[in-house]
Copies of this chain bind each other. A is one copy, B any other.
Amino acid sequence: MRSLLRAIKNHPELELQLVVAASALLDRYGSVHTVIEREGFHIDRRVYNIFEGENLLTSAKSTGMGIVELASAFSELAPDMVVTIADRFETIATAIAASYQNIPLVHIQGGEVSGSIDEKVRHAITKLADLHFVSSARAAERVIRMGERSDRVYDTGCPSIDVVVDALAKPPLSTSELFERYGGVGDTLNLDDAYVVVIQHPVTTQYEASRRQVLETLHAIAESGVPTLWFWPNVDAGSDGTSGGIRAYREEHSLPHVHFFKNLPPDDFLRLIDRSRGIVGNSSVAIRECAFMGVPAVNIGNRQRGRDRGRNVIDVEHDRKQIRDAIDRCVAAGRFESDLLYGDGESGVRIADHLVTVPLSVEKTLTY
């Protein structure tokens, strides 16, 4: 959302109010709130709403507490509209807190398909939202078919692509920058060598399987021997399964060619991927940003099922052999051409411009 935050902040007819909640406030997810402030944004409210426990019950409770707290924040800040993105529990909490207070709700990234609790939540947010800024033509079509008025749906591309443009305007990330700034755990790797990046999140509705699934990826990476930069999963119900699998594997196996990180600021993260030979796991970055960057991607399992793909994606199952073979193909393949499927890098400015003129209505009804 950075490009959009910046475009709103810089727009003479808009005023930015920023509420930061959930994992963005937590150390173990990289203290995103400090990144936000370092980039010059003022945070109007910090909302701590995550219950410890990392199970399905606490996911639900964190959603509820998010509503309780965001409702107060919105009531105090009294914005003309609330803008939110994606499909997470803090997103639906935001949607409900705004909707019940009759504050027009703007949703970014509606109409995408993934096939899990996140998809249910994403479409539920679409039904609560008054305005939709979607990432692709197919997404626009889906939102309209769900009964939204076509004049409330804008295909602006995804602001996440804007961040790529920003990041790649800088010189490539060097080995020393990476390890001096972010430490992490494991031996230092040389970014001049061919390397891959792994990000694997738990699949929320398959809680017990998360641990088993990540072990397949760990084995594949171990067998491939390719230098690897591995990022811990986000907060999500089930992260215990994935994180626990990683911890268990590391206690029993040596992984000298793997270095683990918690989180990186977006710019450095994207520059790191841009230099890599490929991305492995089930992150949406592999599908979206890597389409634009032309970085090969090994997409594991069904977390990204139904998302439109560029040429850069190889889909595999949670199977160490399939994963390893796909990694080898990626490393061999080299870069693809940029694919504008998810945006052209100007979405933030485009959305901000629309926000000035969109109708601020909370009345809507099914179109059929």
Contact surface of A with B, Cβ cutoff 8 Å: 25-27, 45-54, 56-61, 63-69, 71-72, 74-76, 89, 92-93, 95-97, 99-102, 113-117, 119-121, 123-128, 141-142, 145-147, 183, 204-205, 207, 235, 237, 240, 251, 305-306, 362-366, 368
Q: Which residue of B lies closest to A183 (CB)?
A: B251
Tell me whether B48 and A52 are in contact (CB under 8 A): yes
CA of A48 to CA of B71, assembled, Å: 11
Residues of B within 8 A of A58 (CB): 48
Identical copies of this chain, number: 4
Residues of B within 8 A of A127 (CB): 120, 123-124, 126-127, 146
CA of A235 to CA of B52, assembled, Å: 11
CA of A145 to CA of B127, assembled, Å: 13
Given A102-B207, A120-B128, A207-B102, verify A49-B48 contact (CB < 8 Å): no
CA of A115 to CA of B96, assembled, Å: 17
Residues of B within 8 A of A53 (CB): 25-26, 48, 50
Residues of B within 8 A of A97 (CB): 60, 64
Residues of B within 8 A of A45 (CB): 76
Q: Report A218 CB to chain B, min CB distance, Å.
A: 18
